[in-house]
């Protein structure tokens, strides 16, 4: 569940995940435009990738709490974020 996922994401780390995303984009970019879609931590990574990964056309994220903490920096590619109205971990005020 959630605790296991948090443990795995902590082991991988954000910088390694962004590096892996860049490698993936580089591997497939010749096929056409690349978009990144992420959920939860994946949403946070997609949001960060909008400024850190080269070769992406856009990013879409669902329920990424880190995006809320990092929203002041303008994204370099079109970015669409979705949040739950009644998320127990992320208030509407945030």
Query: Hey, CA dihedral for 36, 38, 44, 45, is it positive or negative?
Result: negative
Residues in the chain: 94
- Report d(CA 70, CA 25) in Å as an integer: 23
Q: What is the pTM of this model?
A: 0.86
Sequential pLDDT tens for the chain (94 residues): 878 888 998 999 999 999 999 999 999 999 999 999 999 899 999 999 999 999 999 999 998 777 777 777 888 999 998 888 877 777 777 6
Query: Can you read off the two tokens belonging to residue 89?
Result: 């971990």
Q: Do residues 65 and 47 lie in contact, with contact meaning Cβ atoms separated by under 8 Å?
A: no
- Report d(CA 20, CA 31) in Å as an integer: 18
């Amino acid at each position: 569940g959630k605790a296991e996922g948090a443990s795995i994401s902590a082991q991988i780390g954000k910088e390694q995940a962004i590096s892996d995303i860049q490698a993936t984009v580089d591997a497939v970019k010749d096929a056409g435009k690349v978009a990144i879609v992420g959920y939860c931590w994946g949403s946070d990574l997609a949001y960060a990738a909008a400024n850190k990964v080269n070769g992406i056309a856009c990013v879409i994220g669902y329920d990424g709490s880190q995006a809320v903490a990092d929203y002041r920096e303008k994204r370099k590619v079109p970015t669409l974020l979705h949040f739950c109205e009644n998320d127990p971990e992320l208030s509407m005020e945030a």
